[in-house]
């Protein structure tokens, strides 16, 4: 049975894009594949070529911080899922979204399942691919916007990241509609 797995990365970040991964995997089990949060960076990076070799479909949908600020997080999830699946032409028997609500309403039969990234291989694969792609981008952005620690916090609101915002202010990657940035009087 072909399963389309969908998962997002970066929903709670203060900086950087939201990324949704969509994957249809072959039925071949992939050793070590599980939710990206349960894997080290090295383990995730080693899985990427295996996932690509065993996938019938891979899509990533990106929504930048400025778009998130303009349309909001819920609409951004829908937009990212749409972008991740826009080239999907393959028929699948099941579509599973990690989480408690359907942010891919245009995907036929999409079923949200809490913690699907720990139980459905295609969702785990989507989680890994989205996480690796987003982290790689944020590491590159650390060179362009030094001082925020993007190479380690990848945009999440760590204490060091919040301190850097207090020192340097915002950069173009920051989501100004997100607390605490929106309470600092920064402009969109």
**pLDDT tens-digit readout, 144-172:** 999 999 999 999 999 999 999 999 999 99
Q: Tell me: the pLDDT tens digits for 77-130?
A: 999 999 999 999 988 999 999 999 999 999 989 999 999 999 999 999 999 999
For tokens 């459905």, name the residue: 120
Contacts of 171 (CB under 8 A, 6+ apart): 15, 145, 148
- What are the structural domains, with CATH classification, of the chain? 3-184 (3.30.420.10)
Distance of CA 45 to the CA centre of its chain: 15
Cα separation, 135 vs 63, in Å, equals: 14
Residue owning tokens 């990533």: 60
pTM, two decimal places: 0.94
CA 183, CA 165: separation in Å to the nearest integer?
A: 12
Cα–Cα distance between 30 and 162 in angstroms, integer?
A: 38
Token digits of residue 88 = 């999907």
Amino acid 29: pLDDT: 80
């Amino acid at each position: 049975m072909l399963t389309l797995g969908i998962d997002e990365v970066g929903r709670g970040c203060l900086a950087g894009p939201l990324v949704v991964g969509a994957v249809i995997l072959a039925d071949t089990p992939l050793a070590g594949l599980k939710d990206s949060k349960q894997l080290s960076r090295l383990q995730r990076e080693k899985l990427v070529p295996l996932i690509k070799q065993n996938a019938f479909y891979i899509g990533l949908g990106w929504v930048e911080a400025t778009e998130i600020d303009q349309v909001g997080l819920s609409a951004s999830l829908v937009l990212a899922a749409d972008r991740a699946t826009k080239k999907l032409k393959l028929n699948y028997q099941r579509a599973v979204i990690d989480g408690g609500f359907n942010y891919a309403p245009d995907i036929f039969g999409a079923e949200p399942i809490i913690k699907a990234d720990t139980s459905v291989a295609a969702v785990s694969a989507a989680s890994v691919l989205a996480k690796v792609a987003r982290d790689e981008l944020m590491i590159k952005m650390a060179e362009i916007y030094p001082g925020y620690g993007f190479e380690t916090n990848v945009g999440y609101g760590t204490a060091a990241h919040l301190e850097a915002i207090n020192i340097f202010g915002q950069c173009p990657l920051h989501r100004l509609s997100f607390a605490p940035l929106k309470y600092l009087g920064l402009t969109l």
